[in-house]
Structure 1
Amino acid sequence: MSVPYAKLPGWADYGLIPIINLLVAFLVAGVVVLLVGENPLSAAVILIDGAFGSGQNIAYTLYYATNFIFTGLAVAVAFHAGLFNIGGEGQAYIAGLGVALVCLTFDSVLPWWLTFPLAIAASAAVGALWALIPAYLQAKRGSHIVITTIMFNFIAASAMVYLLVDVLKPAGSMAPQTRDFFDGAQLPKMGWLLESLGLAVRSAPLNISFLLALLMAFAVWVLIWRTKLGYEMRTFGFSPKAARYAGVSESRIIIIAMMISGGLAGMMALNPIMGDQHRVALDFVAGAGFVGIAVALMGRSHPAGIVPAAILFGVLYQGGAELAFEMPNISRDMIVIIQGLVILFAGALEHMFRAPIQAVFASFSPRSVGVAAPKGEGA
């Protein structure tokens, strides 16, 4: 007897299915590790120890996770409006220009706690304006948002190369980067937090932009699920025809959602620029915009899922570096393969296990999934 379609409870939809997908991804990754002649269990221990085995490792893991929280939230906001913003990489990259202008202007005259809010506003504004152009082209000219945002990634990269080589580079310097920022544009580290727990952090780059990322996660939750604008965005993303029938402006939703998405991606630039490098250098984004797509998919576009998904990818980045060092047969390319498997099962094969899980829930607890129990069964 076939089981009718059932909607899963929220905890299963946002928690159980991603966990199952993740476990399968790591099982397949274990097979790959076995094929190259290494012990998968030993590799897993090294990976976890490399990510959480010391205060410094934890700090690096959270530092990488900070980047992915920003870019994951950026992708999620666009997802809820039915848009696929694949341009987070370029939006974060070009937002470095806004951070640079603020820091180079005020780092010698203002303390960091005054420079930081200005840099937040500048990074968000530049990222939002960079996303505005593809948004306008889709809303007013019918251009596909995926194509235009991909193109704008390359434009942003080329523009930043020109600016860093010919405009922002100090006179007499050969390196394509700005001068080092003074103390007024350097964010305080958060090592004290881990050191208060008895963990040694040393020179790890974890800084207060991690707290900003968590704040933005809460702000996105409020926006999407507790405001009229968020309701309109979700309605438009679920059914554009229904949204138009209800009087929601398609152009307005596309432009606003993309600008918010671009602003969130832009704020990612604060972490490496002000928190670690203290300068703007080439390729400081380092692929975080694309990882944000996987983070949003794995986190089911919900901030409560995006934060742990970002930490997971932080584990893969930090622990993967330790794994490549400890096990020579597992190169950095192998770590990329493991990341790709996580993306594959969390994204492309997201619904692989949904049907059997729905069948189990509908069979054992029909009411938990909104299916009426057959007549004759206990109430």
Structure 2
Amino acid sequence: MDKLPRWADVVLVPLISLLMAAAISALVILAIGGDPVEAVKVMVTGALGSAYGWGYTLYYATSFIFTGLAVSVAYHAGQFNIGGEGQAQIGGLGVALVCLALPWPHWTIALPAAMIGAGLFGAAWAAIPAYLAAKRGSHIVITTIMFNYIAAALIVYLLVEVLRPAGQMDPATARFPAGAKLPTFGEIPGLSLFFSKNVPANVTFFVALAACWGVWLLLWRTRLGYQIRAYGKSEPAALYAGISPTRMIMVSMLISGGLAGMMAINNVMGEAERLLQNSAEGAGFIGIAVALMGRNHPIGVFLAALLFGFLYQGGAEMGLWTTIPIELRLLLQGLVILFTGALDNMVRMMLGVFFRAKAKEAA
């Protein structure tokens, strides 16, 4: 049995990777004099034990869904887009310009416009590395890394020199008009019964769910999606079938950048209500882990985003209410990335030995 059963590949491999990451994190907590059991209790209570905790968990998960989908779309075309952080920041610029452009009468009108602005700006920022990869043979990983730093510097310049209102000290845009304010879960009829008004989770969560469905529809139910996946599996076979590599790289990266840019709707428009420095808050990089753990499938991305939303909010609560430093959540996230990415084959080999032994017993 050289290949794992489908259910084992989808469920067991990520689960074992997560358990191994948790076990090593527990050892680290013990080594620094902490109590792993207390840490788990605080994380679970802080992230899932109240409407407040759930509100923040879903808020973080919303951002991770967008960046995870962005990585997944590019991955299916054989491209490793790790520029989601920069694309999300430039997407935030698009959101800010749209929201500040007009005195929007209602959020239902402002939201679609902001989605277009975020998607276009994120896609435009991804288009340059995509062109360099398609036409010049530049390595997509190197160029997207570089563009993260360029995006950060550009945003700082624009916030300090161009977009900052006169007389304002902090580098940020003016606040968006009241008509561009997105309702939070605590303000939505029905959900207000479960969530308080001070949680940042907002209607962008439903946009993220729609994006999951849209990506699934694109990749597995359209001709373009089939071409993207075919090119990602084998470039020579795709060429033989008449599929243009340049077109696949450009299209997949534009969609990927657009998805990453749309993350900004959640935190720039939905939470901060203005553009700040470092608006992406690291979500672009966490999206890589989300995509890896979710097996680059929209359903898996959604579930992995919920997990990382839990880790983010639970880690913050752990750092607040225990002596364990908040930076430990970065360790846990890093270990999850390590086991779901770099050590993924190791877990598969371990399971392969087990399933081969079971097959011999059954024979």
TM-score, normalised by the number of residues in structure 1: 0.92
Deviations 1:148-181 (A, max 9, x none): 1111111111111111111111111111111111
Compute the displacement of 1:333 (Å). 1.8
Deviations 1:179-220 (A, max 9, x none): 111211111111256975854524011100000011101111
Match of 2:92 among 92, 96, 106: 96
Alignment correspondent of 1:345: 339
Alignment correspondent of 2:70: 74
Alignment correspondent of 1:85: 81
Opposite residue 67 of structure 2, the aligned amino acid is T
Alpha-carbon distance in 1 for matches of 2:100, 2:348: 51
Given that 1:134 and 1:145 are in contact with CA atoms closer than 8 Å, whether structure 2 keeps it comes out as yes
Alignment correspondent of 1:185: 180
Opposite residue 85 of structure 1, the aligned amino acid is N
Match of 2:320 among 325, 332, 347: 325
Compute the displacement of 1:302 (Å). 0.7
Alpha-carbon distance in 2 for matches of 1:164, 1:25: 39
Aligned residues: 363
Match of 2:283 among 283, 288, 292: 288
- Secondary structure at the aligned position of 1:265 is classed as helix
Note if 1:5 corresponds to 2:19. Answer: no
Deviations 1:69-103 (A, max 9, x none): 00000001111111010100000101111111110
Opposite residue 179 of structure 1, the aligned amino acid is A
Note if 1:208 corresponds to 2:212. Answer: no
Compute the displacement of 1:308 (Å). 1.1
Match of 1:164 among 159, 164, 167: 159
- Secondary structure at the aligned position of 2:196 is classed as coil
Alpha-carbon distance in 2 for matches of 1:241, 1:352: 29
TM-score, normalised by the number of residues in structure 2: 0.96
Opposite residue 340 of structure 1, the aligned amino acid is G
- Secondary structure at the aligned position of 1:37 is classed as coil
- Secondary structure at the aligned position of 1:346 is classed as helix
Note if 1:31 corresponds to 2:22. Answer: no
Change (3 A) 1:181 1:197: closer
Match of 2:220 among 217, 225, 238: 225
Compute the displacement of 1:122 (Å). 0.8
Match of 1:360 among 330, 350, 354: 354
Alignment correspondent of 1:312: 307
Percent identity of the aligned residues?
52
Change (3 A) 1:191 1:340: same
Unaligned runs of 5+ residues in structure 2 are: none
Higher helix share: 2
Alignment correspondent of 1:369: none
Greater mean deviation of Cα atoms: 233-242 or 60-69: 233-242
Compute the displacement of 1:22 (Å). 0.5
Alpha-carbon distance in 1 for matches of 2:124, 2:59: 26
Given that 2:107 and 2:181 are in contact with CA atoms closer than 8 Å, whether structure 1 keeps it comes out as yes
Alignment correspondent of 1:370: none
Note if 1:265 corresponds to 2:257. Answer: no
Unaligned runs of 5+ residues in structure 1 are: 367-372
Alpha-carbon distance in 1 for matches of 2:353, 2:331: 32
Compute the displacement of 1:245 (Å). 1.2
Larger radius of gyration: 1
Alpha-carbon distance in 2 for matches of 1:194, 1:332: 35
Given that 1:54 and 1:199 are in contact with CA atoms closer than 8 Å, whether structure 2 keeps it comes out as no
Alpha-carbon distance in 2 for matches of 1:194, 1:302: 31
Alpha-carbon distance in 2 for matches of 1:89, 1:36: 32
Given that 1:55 and 1:194 are in contact with CA atoms closer than 8 Å, whether structure 2 keeps it comes out as no
Structure 2 matches for 1:8-157, cutoff 5 A? 8-106=4-102, 108-157=103-152
Opposite residue 275 of structure 1, the aligned amino acid is G
Given that 2:185 and 2:196 are in contact with CA atoms closer than 8 Å, whether structure 1 keeps it comes out as no
Given that 2:185 and 2:191 are in contact with CA atoms closer than 8 Å, whether structure 1 keeps it comes out as no
Alpha-carbon distance in 2 for matches of 1:365, 1:228: 39
Given that 1:55 and 1:195 are in contact with CA atoms closer than 8 Å, whether structure 2 keeps it comes out as no
Alpha-carbon distance in 2 for matches of 1:197, 1:167: 39
Compute the displacement of 1:363 (Å). 4.5
